[in-house]
Amino acid sequence: MFDRRKFIKSSAISASLLAIGKSSIANIIPAPLAAPAAKPLVISTWDFGIAANHAAWGVLSAGGRALDAVEKGVQVPESDVKNQSVGLGGLPDRDGIVTLDACIMDEEGNCGSVAGLEHIEHAISVARMVMEKTPHVMLVGDGALQFALENGFKKINLLTPESEKAWKEWLKTAKYAPVMNIENKLYDKASPTRLPGNQYNHDTIGMLALDAKGNLSGACTTSGMAYKLHGRVGDSPIIGAGLYIDNEIGGATSTGVGEEVIRNVGSFLVVELMRQGYPPEEACKEAVMRIIKKKPAKAKEIQVGFLALSKKGQYGAYAIQKGFSYAVCNEENQSLLIPGKSYY
Ligand code: ASP
């Protein structure tokens, strides 16, 4: 159970350590600094969240809406060809086809989503258009592409030469299951620095923002598990699994093995735990523990990380494995990178 006294104590320590100056490069700080921060504020998964947060910050610092900020923010990794787990340049499925999953949710509980979308760079913007221009929440596959093209999105080839090369290399062994615990193997234990190259076969950007008016929104976008079965959909486009926002309470998003997140309706669970009084990190931890408790043997082999932001601007994260990190951007510091605490 969550211990309020311990939390109050750790918050006090965190507050006293919060004097971090402005910096253009990432400041690696220990997780206890995940303390309340003034709004506006944006947080997102992994180290590539830093650049994404900067784009979101452009909107938030000008007094813009959290929804606009998260869309703009996650477009950055979507366009980054070097990022092989999101958008353009994402690693393909086992048939060599890049398929994207994304969803977005605003302060009024409106949401939109696309799954298995091909040929479109900004899946997140298609998801937003589903939310704003249709009576539906989710479009998939050919229907999602048709909708995007009808609404002016450009059809492009998402498979870059680098990702095609990685896929062809994978085909040589063509192991059916993707490497689930890739972060733990590839990160240097002492720092959350990302290794270069195309070794990452999954990682999603999930972003949560609180704007100057105190409204929350979130976005989540990914090319999903590399070399997945064609047609496989992960947690990232599923409202309640990969992302959930409740403007009264807070928001949560996830990264890692989507199947486990879906089975536990992870992001919704994190928000509901915050409603019960759990601070963000404790809520993320409890959601991770549910996954571990149900399948302890499997949990050793996989990574799942949750990231949460409360209505008050408190934030926190927790993962099964080491190696998860998240980026935080606010008035004081636009480039924080925080190693997420983990069970293992
Ligand atoms: N959650 C994503 C999926 O299952 C992948 C990831 O974030 O690592 O498709």
Q: Is the CB of 225 under 6 A from ligand 1?
A: yes
Q: How far is the CA of 217 from the centre of ligand 1 (A)?
A: 20
Q: Give pLDDT tens digits for 75-125.
A: 999 999 999 999 999 999 999 999 999 999 999 999 999 999 999 999 999
Task: Give distance in angstroms: CA of 275 to centre of ligand 1.
Answer: 26
Can you give the pLDDT at residue 100? 98
Which residue stretches of the chain have pLDDT < 70? 1-37, 176-201
Give the model's pLDDT for residue 156: 98
What is the whole-number distance in angstroms between the Cα of residue 273 and the centre of ligand 1?
A: 22
Token code pair at residue 172 = 């040589």
Marked catalytic residue, from 45, 99, 160, 204: 204
Q: Which of 231, 292, 242 is nearest to 265 (CA)?
A: 242
* C-alpha 261 – ligand 1 centre gap (Å): 9
Q: Which pLDDT does position 113 carry in this prediction?
A: 98
Global pTM reads 0.87
Closest of 219, 181, 218, 171 to residue 202, by C-alpha: 181
* pLDDT at residue number 37: 53
What is the C-alpha to C-alpha distance for residues 98 and 85, in angstroms, rounded to an integer? 10
Residue 37 neighbours by CB distance under 10 Å:
23
Q: Is 221 annotated as a binding residue?
A: no
Measured in whole angstroms, how far is the alpha carbon of residue 35 from the centre of its chain?
20
What whole-number distance in Å separates Cα of residue 287 and Cα of residue 306?
8
Predicted confidence at residue 177, as pLDDT, reads 57
* Residue ID of nearest Cα to ligand 1 atom 9: 224
The predicted pLDDT at position 175 comes to 72
List domains and CATH numbers for the chain.
41-342 (3.60.20.30)
Does the CB atom of residue 194 touch ligand 1 within 6 A? no
**Does the annotation count 204 as an active-site position?**
yes
Ranges assigned E (strand) in the chain: 27-28, 41-45, 100-105, 111-117, 138-140, 205-210, 216-222, 243-246, 250-256, 304-310, 315-319, 325-330, 336-339, 341-342
* Residues comprising the chain, all counted: 344
CA distances from 48 to 98, 193, 243, 265 (A): 20, 11, 18, 25
Is 93 a pocket residue for ligand 1 (Cβ < 6 Å)?
no
Whole-number pLDDT of residue 213 = 97
Ligand 1 pocket mutation pick from 223, 236, 288 by most atoms within 8 angstroms of CB: 236
pLDDT at 179 (0 to 100): 52
- Cβ of residue 221 lying under 6 Å from some atom of ligand 1: no
CB distance 125 to ligand 1 below 6 Å: no
Q: Residues with Cβ < 8 Å from 13, sequence gap 6 or more?
A: 32
